[in-house]
Amino acid sequence: MHENLQHHFGYKLEDELLKEIQEIGVLKKVPENDILIEIGTNITHMPLLIDGAIKILREDNNGQELLLYFIEQGDTCAMSLTCSLASNKSEIRAVAETQATIILIPVQKMEQWMSKYKSWRQFILQSYQDRLTELLDAIDTIAFLKMDARLFKYLKDKAMVNHNDFLQVTHQEIATDLHTSRVVVSRLLKSLEQSGKIKMHRNNIQVVQL
DNA sequence: ACATTAAGTGATT
DNA sequence: AATCACTTAATGT
């Protein structure tokens, strides 16, 4: 755990804090598709992402999903802080996109550390800023990009967080993430393939133009 | 051989 | 871009 911490957070968090994280945090490996945070639940722990990727989803009244963004290693879910302070329920769902390693920190500790460690405060604020930027980006994508561009962006993002150009995903799963229908995804994928941006193989898609 | 699941296609709104 | 209806291909039992 120490090496992990040092590697991913050592440069931005002070040594004393890293020590505390080591003592208090619980190292956990989660399998792919594991739900880390569910909508409407209280958040008791905040996850520090060591490796892997997490996707953040929103849900409408009918239970339809919409992907907001991916979180990569060295970051965290800043929402857990506000939620804990206001003892609110989570507005989002966090699902492990890949197999991931996380360190769980009780939210009470987060509060303490806010006043105790400058680097922690900065880390959290920076994380907020990053999330906000990604949210704005997500809004732009949904509002201004046509479905074909959205789909291609989705594939590129997915390839990036997976560190793999070959995406193992069904058309239906893509459609769910993008909140559209499978038929549309199939058709757009075909046109993307014809324009040489991707290649489709059986049960996986290769992103060519990164 | 049959059922199930993923993906392709045409037509309609 | 969504939905329906139908087909085809691949995979599992």
**SS3 label, residue A210:** coil
Q: How far is the CA of A123 from the C1' of C13 (A)?
A: 53
Which residue type sits at A156?
K
pLDDT digits (tens, 9 = 90+) for A45-58: 899 999 999 999 99
Least Cα distance to A77 among A111, A101, A112, A43 occurs for A43
Does the model's pTM come out above 0.85? yes
Q: What is the pLDDT of residue A157?
A: 94
Q: Which residue is nearest to nucleotide C4 (CA to C1')?
A: A183
Q: How far is the CA of A134 from the C1' of B12 (A)?
A: 38
CB atoms within 10 A of CB A178: 21
Q: What is the pLDDT of residue A86?
A: 72
Q: What is the pLDDT of residue A210?
A: 66
- pLDDT block averages, 10 residues each, chain A of length 210: 79 90 93 92 90 92 90 83 75 93 90 92 92 93 92 95 92 94 95 92 82
The reply to whether A182 Cβ lies less than 7 angstroms from strand B is yes
Q: What is the pLDDT of residue A60?
A: 85
The reply to whether A183 Cβ lies less than 7 angstroms from strand B is yes
The reply to whether A109 Cβ lies less than 7 angstroms from strand C is no
Which of A 34-63 have CB under 7 A of nucleic chain B? none
Look up residue A80 and give its two tokens: 């857990």
Which of A 124-153 have CB under 7 A of nucleic chain C? 146-148
The reply to whether A65 Cβ lies less than 7 angstroms from strand C is no
For residue A107, what are the contacts with CB-CB under 8 A and spacing of at least 6? A43, A44, A45, A46, A80, A81, A83, A84
Q: What is the pLDDT of residue A79?
A: 77
- What is the side-by-side strand order in the sheet with A204-207? A166-167, A204-207, A198-201
Nucleotides of strand C within 7 Å of the protein's CB atoms: 1-5, 10-11
Q: What is the pLDDT of residue A208?
A: 87
**SS3 label, residue A132:** helix
Beta strands in chain A (DSSP E): 26-30, 35-37, 45-51, 54-59, 65-71, 93-96, 100-106, 166-167, 198-201, 204-207
Contact A198, A207 (CB under 8 A): yes
Q: Tell me what the pLDDT averaged over chain A comes to.
A: 90
What's the gap between Cα A86 and its chain centre? 23
The reply to whether A190 Cβ lies less than 7 angstroms from strand B is yes
Q: How far is the CA of A96 from the C1' of B12 (A)?
A: 39
C-alpha separations of A86 from A43, A56, A79 in Å: 11, 21, 11
Contact A94, A41 (CB under 8 A): no
CA A210 to CA A206: how far, in whole Å? 10
The reply to whether A179 Cβ lies less than 7 angstroms from strand C is yes
pLDDT digits (tens, 9 = 90+) for A76-110: 877 777 777 776 788 899 999 999 999 999 988 88
Q: How far is the CA of A55 from the C1' of B6 (A)?
A: 24
